[in-house]
Structure 1
Amino acid sequence: MSGIRSFSLVPGWYDFEFDGVRQAYEIAGSGAVCVVHSGGPGINSDYLRMPLLEQHLTMVYLDPIGTGRSDLLPGGDYSVSTYARFSKAVIDHLGADQPYFLGHSHGGFVGLELAIRNPGLLAGLVAYSTAPVYNAELFEEATREMEAFVARWPDQPDAEKARRAWRSASYARNTLLVDRESRIDWLRAILPAYFGDYWKTVARTGPAAFDVTWDPARKDSDWDARRTLDRIDVPTLVISGLYDVICSRRFSEEIHAGVPNAQMLQLNQSGHFGYLEQPDIFVQAIVEFTR
């Protein structure tokens, strides 16, 4: 059973120092511990709040290093392995005994790397709308998926706007997006492509809330875990949206095939944000998985 030191069971924001850097996290809910890592990179954790899961799990929402309430990283080495090292530090700091780890998008890269590098650390891994690679191949596939998205919504001007924005810059790496405001504007423009039906979802839930922190010293590096997925020794739930543009189901299928003890849930009406589009199925699958 996952555990956590009693002082951290109190809901609220906390932080600690690791390698001279402040790492912030929020506690919410009750039950077995689940560490949650947001995507991006550079997107704060606020968008990933899951109150339905907080009824079943103690959710530990990280503001990843370089975002939100956490410090920027001296030297700018924001590699996937660095994020995984800081996630391990959070687990150690909490004193959690085999927590679960839920990583969304870029946070899923981190979860895979964490499990590969630390056998036996986790009770289970949820790889949510993610991929086993972070390189040009990922963005080339996303560009093809963007074209498919526009073809599905030929009468929506915002779909064409999303395609133009995607072509103009790569959120992760293009130096044209040099500050917080330009990145938020870019995200708002491409956001419709991240949903199975953005217009239906926004009408029901309202606009997605997100914020961005961007370190001008940030250095990214390529990452490809496909040859080492078989080292993951914990049960893994792979969740994929049928219409996911940025982390297409092809990549989820590669994770499912490569991890020895993996199961896969495909959300047939969702894109990159299945929790918002099909929350009941999403929550039920994770509750059953964490039992």
Structure 2
Amino acid sequence: MAPPRTGPLTEGVHTLEVDGLALRYHVHGTGPVCVAHPGGPGIAWEYLRARELERRVTAVYLEPAGTGGSDRLATHPHGYTRGLYSRHLAALIDHLDVGPVHLLGHSHGGFVAQYHALHRPDQLAGVVLYESAPANGPEFGEEMIRRAGEFAAREADRPDVQPVMDAFASIPAIADDESMVAAAKGVLPAYVADYWADTPRWTRLREALRATYISGLDENGAPDLFDDRRALPGLKVPALVVVGRHDVVCGVRWGRELHELLPASRLLLLNHSGHFGHLEEPEGFAHEVASFVAAGTNR
């Protein structure tokens, strides 16, 4: 086993100042460094903790600006663009001072990770696009609605499905932290492959979720939409695309499209997972991600 890391990579909680903001990050595990960016935007980092992966890598979990214990922008809840998050990632990676690292982005964090990989490939040995998508405009929203409808039809006999669909319907009206938390908790049963196979476990995750309302608008009130399809074939770092077969948000369609667009990628399809493969199939997820990181580290 590798010796414990010191300095900015000491096990535990750290704070880094970037652009006058205090950003919090957490270090767990030993091995090559993998920086992890959570999703949402606005979902607190704890849900992304991958304990099996930490047996094989040093996981550095960032709390993005505006989320959890990190400071908020003066324009909060607006201004949290991919460019801003990437700039903060760049500062964190420089601060770690270990050379190129691997970057794992989950869900909206995957959108940020692919932006960072396109704009700062010099900082990365590889990128893990975990439940990501090549674009997030109307087509993305339509696909999520379609997949949520499939979930509702599949689980139609369950009396507690309607509140899940009501939570999906509430998403456009989210306007504060309270409604963000309620929506995140409400839709969670649709985010795993089989919520009702182990309801107590997923209920614990659901109850523990913390979230901050991030508008998805830039500082001028314009939506931070993107379409990376033309840029992704030029990605200069190796990529691992991870997708759960039953994910209703960033599902197989998007994972396959990313894989086909990227010049040097591998597709990991988790057959028994929804949006949280690191929790639904922890051993398989950890093995494949750690193998990808090890290969890139030794390259």
TM over 0.5: yes
Equivalents in 2 of 1:240, 1:14: separation in Å? 30
Aligned to 1:163: 165
Equivalents in 2 of 1:107, 1:277: separation in Å? 19
Aligned to 2:212: 213
Is contact 2:174–2:213 with CA below 8 Å preserved after alignment?
no
Q: Deviations over 1:203-246 (max 9, x none)?
A: 45652132012357964411111110022111111011111111
User: Which of residues 109, 118, 121 is equivalent to 1:119?
Assistant: 121
**Given the alignment of the two structures, is residue 222 of structure 1 paired with residue 221 of structure 2, yes or no?**
no
Structure 1 segment 194-213 matched on structure 2, within 5 A: 194-204=191-201, 207-208=204-205, 209-213=208-212
Aligned to 2:283: 280
3-state SS of paired residue (1:120): helix
Which AA in structure 2 matches 1:212?
A: A
Equivalents in 2 of 1:162, 1:242: separation in Å? 20
Is contact 2:81–2:217 with CA below 8 Å preserved after alignment?
no
Gaps of 5+ in 1: none
Question: Taking structure 1 as reference, are residues 48 and 251 closer, same or farther at Cα in structure 2, changes over 3 Å only?
Answer: same
Q: How much has 1:48 moved relative to structure 2?
A: 0.8
Q: Deviations over 1:127-173 (max 9, x none)?
A: 11111212222111100000111111121222222122212x33xxx
Question: Taking structure 1 as reference, are residues 188 and 204 closer, same or farther at Cα in structure 2, changes over 3 Å only?
Answer: closer
**Mean alpha-carbon deviation: is it higher for 100-109 or for 133-142?**
133-142
**Mean alpha-carbon deviation: is it higher for 213-222 or for 157-166?**
213-222
Structure 1 segment 16-35 matched on structure 2, within 5 A: 16-35=16-35
Equivalents in 1 of 2:124, 2:72: separation in Å? 27
Structure 1 segment 84-233 matched on structure 2, within 5 A: 84-167=86-169, 169-170=170-171, 174=172, 176-204=173-201, 207-208=204-205, 209-214=208-213, 219=218, 220-233=223-236
Equivalents in 2 of 1:46, 1:246: separation in Å? 19
TM-score, with structure 1 as normaliser: 0.92
Gaps of 5+ in 2: 295-299
**Given the alignment of the two structures, is residue 66 of structure 1 paired with residue 66 of structure 2, yes or no?**
yes
Q: How much has 1:85 moved relative to structure 2?
A: 1.4
3-state SS of paired residue (2:213): coil
TM-score, with structure 2 as normaliser: 0.89
| CA RMSD in angstroms, aligned pairs only | 1.9
Is contact 1:201–1:277 with CA below 8 Å preserved after alignment?
no
Equivalents in 2 of 1:216, 1:278: separation in Å? 31
Which AA in structure 2 matches 1:54?
A: E
